[in-house]
Structures are given as structure tokens and as C-alpha cells.
Amino acid sequence: MSAVMGLSYAGDHACGWFTLVIGWAALKTGKLPRMLGYLILLVGLCFLFDFLSMLLALVGLLLLAIMSLWLGIVLMRTK
């Protein structure tokens, strides 16, 4: 059981780094709204440190849902 949890946390950690890089790129290029870029960074931080607290993992999932909807709306509005 602990091996499964360890692999799950490792996957979340990798996803957190990936999301941080995407958020940084969004802020650096300015192609997405600035607040969305900060939200992406916040989601990445939540995933990066979700092993510390179950509450942090739940907040990260809630923010991920908001981020996904917002990003979808932004992408649908662009040509």
C-alpha cells in the first residue's frame, strides 16, 4: 500500500512541476490572462506539496477544476 501511495505522490509531484512550468510560460509570454497564469502557478504549487496535507490536495483539485474551465473558455474565445 505504501508503494502505491509513494508512486501517487511522485506522479503528483511531477505534475506539479509541469504545471509550474506551464504557468511560468503563460506569465512570461503574456498569451493568457495574467490572473490565469497565477492560478496555474498556484495549482502547480498545490500539486507539488500535496503530500503535506490532504486539505492541500483537495484545494489543488478544486483549483484545477476552476483553472481547466477558465482555460477552456479562453481557448474557445481565441481564433
What residue type is assigned to position 18 of the chain?
F
42-59 average pLDDT score: 92
Residue 70: pLDDT band by 50, 70, 90 thresholds? very high
Q: Give the max Cα distance, the chain.
A: 47
Q: pLDDT, tens digit, for every residue of 11-22?
A: 988 999 999 999
Q: Confidence class of residue 76 from pLDDT cuts 50, 70 and 90?
A: very high
Read off the pLDDT band of 78 (50, 70, 90).
confident
Closest CA to 46 of 8, 2, 15: 15
Residue 71 has pLDDT above 90, yes or no: yes
* Segment 11-34 mean pLDDT: 94
